[in-house]
Amino acid sequence: MVLPASFELNNGHKIPAVGLGTFQGTEGNAKVKDDVRLALTLGYRHIDGANAYGNEKQIGEAIEESGIPRDQLFVTSKLYTWHDPADVEGALDASLKDLQLNYVDLYLMHFPHAYKAGERNETIRHPSGNGKPVIDYDLSRRYPETWQAMERLVDLGKARSIGLSNFNILKTKRILEKARIVPAVNQVEIHPHWVAGRFPQSGHMQMCHFQRKIQDQLSLHGAIRFLDPSQHIGFDIFDEENDQPVGSSAPWD
């Protein structure tokens, strides 16, 4: 089977079949600029980033220095802490400033759950010192409202396409019930351990295929650096109906 160069999204825009993920860049993002610049030289045209990765300035510098025309690139960014509908446009504006762009090709809601934001919209960390973000449970139930704010970004021309990331079946259905603009993408992590292990994704993929309203982009690239299973951290497990934490996973490898 030959992989096509691109896939057509449900709004007619095309997304390159292969992209460079910039999560967990080497040496605290110090080499992200070099990595992105090299990828562009080698022919990559889709760069997948996020505000949460803390390296959009480096990505923007690499894109600017590449000299590649904007219409030949596909740039993805993601909404993180700013789930209050009033803050969504400002969140994208901050990413656009760092990326040195007027628009992104794809803007994703990074997670359905929201984190508490500080005065400068930085993520507040748990006072216990465990490094985990503090969850905003009110906003975590209101992600359909956050989606409606993201729809306005398309109207304003700041995002060509919008989509989801890390959404399960229940939460995807809730978005579809309220959506004026149907998500073009639900970006999920896919690799053998994830599919065959404790967190199978097959049901989710079947749901998105069955809907025929939403197209899935599979995040096949992983992080820039090689994944080190010993570095994975635990995460909260949620009651899907009530969006309440019911426990915490142990680190898995």
Q: What is the pLDDT of residues 75-98, one digit of tens each?
A: 999 999 889 999 999 999 999 999
Which residues neighbour 206 within 8 Å (Cβ) at sequence distance 6 or greater?
Answer: none
Spell out the alpha helix ranges (H) of the chain. Answer: 26-29, 32-42, 56-66, 88-99, 137-141, 143-155, 169-178, 192-196, 202-211
What is the model's pLDDT at position 78? Answer: 97
DSSP state of 182: -
Task: Pick the more confident residue, 149 or 208.
Answer: 149
What is the model's pLDDT at position 218? Answer: 40
What is the model's pLDDT at position 148? Answer: 98
Taking the CA of residue 238 as centre, how many other CA atoms within 13 Å lie in the half-sphere pointing to its CB? 17
For residue 105, pLDDT over 80 is answered with yes
Contact indicator for 99, 64 with CB cutoff of 8 Å: no
8-48 pLDDT per residue, tens:
999 999 999 999 999 877 666 778 999 999 999 999 999 99
Name the architecture of domain 6-248. Answer: Alpha-Beta Barrel (3.20)
162-201 pLDDT per residue, tens:
999 999 889 999 999 999 999 999 988 765 555 444 445 5
Largest Cα–Cα separation, the chain:
51
Of the listed 44, 53, 103, 107, which one is catalytic? 53
Q: How far is CA 80 from the centre of its chain?
A: 8
CA distance 7 to 130: 40
143 tagged catalytic: no
What is the model's pLDDT at position 206? Answer: 54
User: What end-to-end distance do the CA atoms of the chain give, in Å?
Assistant: 30
129-139 pLDDT per residue, tens:
888 889 999 99
Contact indicator for 154, 181 with CB cutoff of 8 Å: yes
CA distance 5 to 43: 11
Min mean pLDDT across 148-162, 212-226, 231-245 is at 212-226
Among 231, 227, 235, 236, smallest CA distance to 193 is for 227
CA distance 124 to 86: 19
